[in-house]
Amino acid sequence: MTDLPNDRIDPTELDEEWIPDSDPTPHDIEDRRPVRRQVDPDSPIIMVETAFMASAASLVWLVNTYFPMGPILQIFFPIPIALIYLRWGSRAAWMGCAIAALLLSVLLAPVRSIQYVMPYGFLGVLLGALWYRRVTWYVSIPLGTLLGVLGSFFRIWLVSLLLGDDLWLYSTAQITNFLDWIFTLVGLMVQPSLALVQAFVFVSILLVNTIYLSVVHLVAWLLLDRLDSPIPRPPNWVQVLFDND
C-alpha cells in the first residue's frame, strides 16, 4: 500500500495567492455618467426628443394651472429640462427651455411662460449641468435653493408690477398679523418689528425651496436611473432609507 506524503500545507501559504471576491455592486457607480448617444449631426432625434420633453414640461405646467394638485406636479417642473441636458447637453437643454416657453406663451399667456422659465426652466438647466458633472447633493441642493429663492422674489416683483401693488408689503403685513397672534397666544406682549417680519418671510421662502429641491432630487434619483440617465448618488443615510438598489 502506497504511503501518503506527510507534508502538510501551511495555511499561510494559501492566503498569499488569495484573490478577493468581486463585489457584485460596483463602487464606481457614483462616477457613472448618463449615456449620451453619438448620432449623426443631421439626424433629427435630438430635435425630436428635445421637443417631446419640452412639450411634457409644458403639459405638466398646463395641467397644474387648471387642475392644481398642490406640490405633486410641481416636483416634475424642472425634471424634463434636466433630462434633456443629461442626454444631449447644454444646447439642447436651452432649446428645450425656449420651446417650453413658446408653447406656454401660446397656450396660456406670456406672463405664465415667464413664470415657468424663472425659476423652473433655469432650474432644469442648472440641475442637469450639476448632475452631469456628478456634483454631490450637498452642493446641488443649496445652489438650486438659491435659484429658487431668486425665482420667488422675481415672481413677487412680476406680480406686483402687473397688479400695480406692492405684493411684498402685503405679505409683510399679513405675516405681521400672524406673528402678533403667535406672540399674543404665548403671552408675549411684544410688537414684531419690520426686520423680524422680513427675516421670517425670507427664512420661510428659503426653507420651502430647500424642501422642494430635496424632493426633486429624490424623485429624479428614483426616476432617471430607470431611463439610463443616473444622477449622483444621494448620501448614504438616504440610500439606507429608500434602499434603491
CATH code of the domain covering residue 69: 1.10.1760
pTM comes to: 0.81
The pLDDT of residue 61 is above 90 = yes
- Return the pLDDT at 58: 93
CB 124 within 8 A of CB 80: yes
The pLDDT of residue 132 is above 50 = yes
CA-CA distance, 42 to 27, in Å (whole number)? 38
- Return the pLDDT at 169: 87
CA-CA distance, 146 to 112, in Å (whole number)? 21
For helices 90-107 and 79-88, the axis angle rounded to 10 degrees is 150
In a domain, 123, yes or no: yes
pLDDT digit string (tens) for 19-28?
A: 444 444 444 4
In a domain, 23, yes or no: no
Burial of 209 (C-beta count, 10 Å sphere; 0-12/13-18/19+): buried
In a domain, 169, yes or no: no
- Those residues whose C-beta lies under 8 Å from the C-beta of residue 215, and which sit 6 or more positions away, are 71, 75
pLDDT digit string (tens) for 140-177?
A: 999 999 999 999 999 999 999 988 888 888 888 888 88
Q: Indicate if the alpha-carbon torsion angle 47, 51, 53, 54 is positive or negative.
A: positive
* 3-state class percentages of the chain: helix first, strand second, coil last, to nearest 5: 70, 0, 30
In terms of residue numbers, what domain contains 136?
43-159+209-242
Domains contained in the chain, number: 1
